[in-house]
Amino acid sequence: MSLSGALESFPIVEVLKLVARSGKNGVLRVDAQGLEARLYLEHGQLTYGTTRRDEDFHSRLVEANMVDPRAWVEVERRERTVSDILKDGATREQLEDFMLDQVSDVIFRVLREASGRFAFSEDVSPRFDTGVVLDVEASIEEANSRLSRWKEIEEVIPGVAFHLTVNPEASGDGSVVATTDEWKVVCTMAGASSVEEVSRKQGWSEYRSAQLMADMVRKGLLVLADTRPSGRYSYGEQTAEPERGSFEVIGSKTQERHAEEPAEAEKAPSDEAEFAGSALTEISESDADRGVLQRRKGLGSIVRESERS
The per-residue pLDDT for 1 is 65
The per-residue pLDDT for 206 is 86
Domain map (residue ranges) of the chain:
3-148, 163-224, 245-308
How far is the C-alpha of 248 from the C-alpha of 30, rounded, in Å? 44
The per-residue pLDDT for 257 is 43
Residue 291: phi and psi, rounded to 5, are 75, 30
- The low-confidence residues of the chain, meaning pLDDT below 70, are 1, 171-174, 228-309
The per-residue pLDDT for 259 is 42
The per-residue pLDDT for 33 is 83
For the domain made up of 163-224, give the CATH fold.
Arc Repressor Mutant, subunit A (1.10.10)
**Is 25 buried (19+), middle (13-18) or exposed (0-12) by CB count in 10 A?**
middle
How far is the C-alpha of 298 from the C-alpha of 280, rounded, in Å? 6
**Whole-model pTM above 0.75?**
no
**Is 34 buried (19+), middle (13-18) or exposed (0-12) by CB count in 10 A?**
exposed
The per-residue pLDDT for 304 is 55
The per-residue pLDDT for 262 is 46
The per-residue pLDDT for 203 is 77
How far is the C-alpha of 13 from the C-alpha of 143, rounded, in Å? 10
The per-residue pLDDT for 307 is 52
The per-residue pLDDT for 165 is 92
